[in-house]
Amino acid sequence: MDNIKPEVKQLSDQDKAQAFVKDYEQICEKHQLRIVTTPAWRVSADTGDWRLVLQNSVGKLPKQE
């Protein structure tokens, strides 16, 4: 018997991004949580100047009415 492999469709970057967004939205709905990014100012330990950093955390989804 010949080893016949099924043809696998290669997704474009745009299709991969759309699939990721769909999966992420489903996970958010399931757990009622989302990833939240907030900006914050911090003093650099190396140079002493101020830098803008992004802090990621997990937050609850807003209630839908």
Give me the pLDDT at residue 36, please.
Answer: 95
Give me the pLDDT at residue 7, please.
Answer: 72
> Would the CA dihedral through 23, 60, 30, 63 be positive or negative?
negative
pTM equals: 0.64
CA dihedral 58, 18, 30, 53 (to 10 degrees): 0
Whose CA is closest to 42, among 51, 34, 55? Answer: 51
Give me the pLDDT at residue 20, please.
Answer: 95
3-class DSSP assignment, residue 27: helix
Task: Return phi, psi of residue 47, to 5°.
Answer: -110, -15
8-65 pLDDT per residue, tens = 778 899 999 999 999 999 999 999 999 999 999 999 989 999 999 999 999 998 887 7
